[in-house]
């Protein structure tokens, strides 16, 4: 029998809800030259929620509602708002605090040579947040990735 390549996970708590499509076979692609989609998700965080992030993936995220503060270890805090596009890097610690209810969409990509080369050169090498990004275009890209992950 054919097994779907992505698992669906729905997470809910008093201050957070998340729908995630996570690749079943993600570990074997870590630290390879392959650009591998590890997951697609959508999250809602309520104001007052605080926490930290640390993951083995590159995560590309689009904020569709709200405001929160993100602090990468060793750097100054950054406010991230509706319409901002940001990325988190693998193996780095981030703390966050939700200032206004936040909704966001994200994709996780395996840590490997290709994505590191693409994201550690030029503008992205120094920046975590891209303000004023073309959110309509990014949303269409995310829609396509979500459809691909959902269909297997």
What mean pLDDT is reported for the chain?
Answer: 83
Which residue is listed with tokens 């692609």? Answer: 29
Question: What mean pLDDT do residues 101-123 have?
Answer: 80
The strand pairing partners of 41, in sequence order, are 20, 106
pLDDT higher at 74 or 19: 74
* pLDDT score, position 27: 53
Phi, psi of 135 (to 5 degrees): -65, -30
Of the given ranges (10-19, 63-72, 118-127), which has the lowest mean pLDDT? 118-127
Q: Where is 142: in which H helix or E strand?
A: helix 135-151
- 15 in Cβ contact with 66 (< 8 Å): no
The CA-atom distances, in angstroms, between 120 and each of 15, 56, 75, 116 are 33, 16, 17, 6
pTM for the whole thing?
0.79
Q: What proportion of the chain, given as a percentage, has pLDDT over 90?
A: 38
């Amino acid at each position: 029998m054919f097994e779907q390549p992505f698992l669906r996970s729905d997470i809910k708590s008093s201050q957070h809800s998340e729908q995630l499509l996570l690749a079943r076979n993600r570990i074997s692609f870590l630290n390879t030259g392959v650009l591998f989609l590890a997951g697609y998700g959508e999250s809602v965080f309520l104001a007052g929620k605080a926490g930290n992030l640390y993951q083995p993936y590159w995560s590309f995220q689009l904020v569709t509602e709200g405001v929160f503060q993100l602090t990468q270890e060793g750097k100054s805090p950054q406010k991230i708002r509706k319409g901002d596009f940001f990325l988190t890097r693998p193996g780095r610690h981030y703390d966050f605090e939700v200032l206004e209810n936040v909704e966001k969409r994200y994709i996780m990509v395996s840590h490997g040579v290709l994505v590191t080369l693409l994201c550690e050169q030029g503008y992205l090498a120094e920046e975590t947040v891209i303000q004023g990004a073309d959110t309509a275009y990014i949303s269409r890209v995310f829609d396509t990735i979500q459809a691909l992950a959902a269909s297997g």
